[in-house]
Structure 1
Amino acid sequence: MSQFHTFDHDQQVASLKRLAFTALEQWDGDFVRLDLIKYRENAVFCATRRDGQRSALRVHRDGYHSEEALRSELQWMEALAADGIHVPQIIRTRHGEHLARVHSDELGESRYIDMLGWLNGTSIGSAEHGLAVQTDVAGLFFDTGAVAARIHQSSARWEQPNAFSRHAWDEEGLIGQRPFWGPYWELDLLQPAQRALLQATRQAARADLRRYGRNLDNFGMIHADLVPENLLLEQARLHLIDFDDAGFGWHMFELATALYFCLDDPRYTEIEAALLGGYHSVKPLTAADRATLPLFLALRGMTYLGWIHTRREIRTAEELAPMLIGRACHLAQAYLDQR
């Protein structure tokens, strides 16, 4: 049986680092250092070779994605890179595999691990602290919108491998009985009135999603996490990282996600116009597309409550809970009011 859930945060990090050191044997290179970069759900380490070359080693959390789903994520990233989109390089194991499965006797379980090329650049912001950029926010979000459109176009052209498997941010995944990130209406932090508001929003959203419909022009593979934390700026070049939540979904859900953690920024109107303008410059948006933005902002807000509900052990979930609940309810009410 796995002992991992009984460890405190520091013990978890230490055990994952030992597992990661063992996993490095699966890749070519003389590795001399392993430093934790991020531990929220997956653990991401910077693996440094003796010659100074760095890579990002991801130790995936247990039980979230299957091996097939993880391999599909990496295959899609390779396809996007081949189309000229700036994503991390997939560094295959010495046996040519996309990822490795490594057992830990200490934990009594195995974890999937992959290695990505290191990207230079600085994150443009975070969920906790908002945008970190002070200048040319319009240019930055115009570029973000354009990249999102290129991702969607690339995915529509791509012939997926036969074994390709990813989750879906579709009607069932967003507002069904078992949403992908969990039943947000069951979150125990909600007040009765808030819970009733979210249930009313689910019902309205079901009708509006069916009216909007699904087709190759508005639905397909999306990154699904284009938040500031996952946008790296290197001089004038925009890199995209963290495809862990990538799956099938509406293109406008992608844009709503990119806007979600900018809602409180005083430049929000400018940011929204730039993002939609950048997207439209590559892949034209219809009036029907634009009209769904309040809907998808509300849905994005509710998914984050599901994330809290199913990840209460994660520090970030606990810290962000009050803000995410307030914002989700505000967006839900705004959506219902504009209907």
Structure 2
Amino acid sequence: MKKTIQLDDIAKRAIEMYDLDVREITFLLEETNIFYKVLDHAGQQYALKIFQTESSTLEDNKAEIFFMNIIRKSQHVSLPNVYIGKNGDEIQLVETIDSDIPKRVALYSWIEGEDLDGNENEARYEQFGELTALLHQATIDVNIPPEIKPKKWDEVFYYRHEKPVYKETIYQRFLDDDYHNVMDKIIPFLNKKLANYYEDHLKNVRLIHGDLNPWNVKVENEKMHILDFEDALLGLPIHDFATMLYYYQDQDDYANIKKCFFNGYQKISQLPVFTDYDIDLLITARRVNYLNYVLLVDDDPQKFIEENMKKVHLFLNKYQITL
């Protein structure tokens, strides 16, 4: 109850930083970040995001806004607008009583529709591919100013201040020797491979979305909207491909999903050269990251660990990799 009151207070004080005639502020959900739905007296709706300290930094937020502004100028992809506060900034800082660190807040236009998750079909996968290509086209040769410092996926733990915690005593009741043996060896293996993508394809590095999952895509009749650019990073198109396919790899029609997605992409842009190994390696890198992250966010991570350790072994066996 105390936390809810504190969040409500932050939301109310944050909205005062915008030139809005607010009628109602309603708590929406708490996931990676905290969201409120805002309604003004004219009936217009907005989404207020309170960034969680552990999920992003101010640098990440600035990269997100920079990326979204580029995409919006291209006028080819539907995405939320970001509103500027009374002080001229897109990111507002709200002081809190219980912390020396102010809460970071942003206000977005409301996007109608349902999650792509649960609404997939061949046409939607193809449309998703088209939008992904348009995102990638929009950032080719964009000069990034020095004050914008996007992260790179050049190691397993690539989020700012992220570190492995699986050695800590508190988590050992969930972990066995196989987990430790594999994690100890596969992390440096993957780190080298991830860094190589940047070294070998430097000319193709650009700003990409970084988290194209089916909950960050809204569908509305024939329209498709892209949301949540918080994980924007300097990367390659295959990084976005692998992130998207991570969420569909276990589907019986996975091969057809890939085909439809890439067919859509090729309608807009030429596919870069890559192999199934590249995609599988990047998917595995994401999986290994989550095998550590789940310890921080799940009180009972055993099932996730068991299922995903099997998938890591399948990757190693498929490509005959000896660590």
Work out the CA distance in 2 between the residues paired with 1:52 and 1:106: 34
The equivalent position to 1:147 in structure 2, one of 122, 127, 131, is: 131
Give 1:107 deviation, angstroms. 5.2
* Corresponding position: 1:264 with 2:266: no
Give the match for residue 171 of structure 1. Answer: 155
1:197 pairs with 174, 182, 202, which one?
182
Q: Which amino acid aligns with 1:32?
A: R
Q: Is the 8 A contact 2:25 2:39 kept in 1?
A: yes
Q: Taking structure 1 as reference, are residues 330 and 281 closer, same or farther at Cα in structure 2, changes over 3 Å only?
A: farther
Read off the aligned partner of 2:315 and give its amino acid letter. Answer: Y
| RMSD (Å), alpha carbons | 2.6
Aligned-partner Cα distance in 2 for 1:269–1:318: 34
- 1:54-77 CA-partner distances (Å, limit 9, x unpaired): 111111112553434322211211
Q: Which amino acid aligns with 1:251?
A: P
Note if contact 2:156-2:190 (Cα within 8 Å) is conserved in structure 1. Answer: no
Contact 2:154 2:191 in 1 (8 A): no
1:218/1:250 contact within 8 Å kept = yes
CA distance in structure 2 between the aligned counterparts of 1:322 and 1:272, rounded to whole angstroms = 30
**Number of aligned positions between the proteins:** 313
Aligned match for 1:328, one of 302, 305, 308: 308
Asked if 2 retains the 8 angstrom alpha-carbon contact of 1:305 and 1:325, the reply is yes
Distance 1:83 1:245 in 2: 20
- Output aligned runs, 1:59-98, within 5 Å: 59-62=50-53, 64-84=55-75, 85-98=77-90
Cα contact 2:50–2:103 (8 A) shared by 1:
yes
Percent of residue pairs identical: 20
Structure 1 residues 109 and 80: alpha-carbon distance in aligned structure 2, compared to 1, 3 A threshold = same
Partner of residue 183 from structure 1, selected from 140, 164, 189: 164
Q: What is the rounded CA distance, in whole Å, between the counterparts of 1:59 and 1:282 in structure 2? A: 35
Which residue of 1 is the match for residue 143 of structure 2? 159
Shift of 1:203: 4.1
What residue is the counterpart of 1:338 in the other structure?
318
CA distance in 2, matches of 1:194, 1:106: 38
Which piece of structure 1 moves more, 83-92 or 143-152?
Answer: 143-152
- Cα contact 2:67–2:232 (8 A) shared by 1: no
Are 1:181 and 1:303, in contact at CA under 8 Å, matched by a contact in 2? no
Q: Report the TM-score when normalising by structure 1.
A: 0.82
Structure 1 residues 334 and 283: alpha-carbon distance in aligned structure 2, compared to 1, 3 A threshold: farther
In 1: Cα distance, 2:211 partner to 2:34 partner: 17
Deviations 1:224-245 (A, max 9, x none): 1111111100111111111222
Cα deviations across residues 221-274 of structure 1 (Å, max 9, x unaligned)? 221111111110011111111122222234322112112222333332221222
Matched residue, 1:129: none
Q: Deviations over 1:94-153 (max 9, x none)?
A: 23211111112255642111101111111122xxxxxx126xx22212222222222222
Counterpart residue number, 2:12: 21
Structure 1 counterpart SS, 2:5: helix
The yes-or-no answer on 1:298 pairing with 2:289 is: no
Unaligned runs of at least 5 residues, structure 1: 1-9, 126-131
Structure 2, unaligned stretches of length 5 or more? none
AA partner of residue 201 (structure 1): I
Which of 39, 57, 80 matches 2:48? 57
Contact 1:224/1:257 (<8 A) preserved:
yes
C-alpha change, 1:285 and 1:118, in structure 2 (3 Å) is same
Q: Deviations over 1:277-302 (max 9, x none)?
A: 32333333355344311101111111
* Matching of residue 273 in structure 1 with residue 273 in structure 2: no
The 2-side partners of 1:284 and 1:195 are apart by 41
Name which of structure 1's ranges 15-24 and 99-108 shifts more when overlaid on structure 2: 99-108
Q: Answer whether contact 1:67 1:112 (CA < 8 A) is retained.
A: yes
Contact preservation (8 Å) 2:153, 2:194? no
CA displacement, residues 291-336 of structure 1 (integer Å, 9 cap, x when unaligned): 3111011111112223223x33xxxx446x3454234323322221
CA distance in 1: counterparts of 2:299 and 2:229, whole angstroms: 23
2:211, 2:231 within 8 Å by CA — same for their partners in 1? yes
Instruction: Pick closer, same or farther for the CA change 1:190–1:279 going to 2, 3 Å.
Output: farther
Q: Structure 1 residues 273 and 140, CA, compared in 2 at 3 Å: closer, same or farther?
A: same
Q: Which amino acid aligns with 2:221?
A: Q
- Post-superposition shift, 1:19? 0.8
Matched, 1:120 2:137: no
CA distance in structure 2 between the partners assigned to 1:218 and 1:290 by the alignment: 19
C-alpha distance in 2 between matches for 1:268 and 1:93: 44
Question: Are the equivalent residues in 2 in contact too, given 1:181–1:307 (CA < 8 A)?
Answer: no
In 1, Cα distance between equivalents of 2:132 and 2:203: 13
TM-superposed deviation, 1:181 = 4.1
Shift of 1:80: 0.9
Contact 1:73 1:244 in 2 (8 A): yes
C-alpha contact (below 8 Å) 1:184/1:305 kept by paired residues:
no
| SS of equivalent to 1:245 | coil
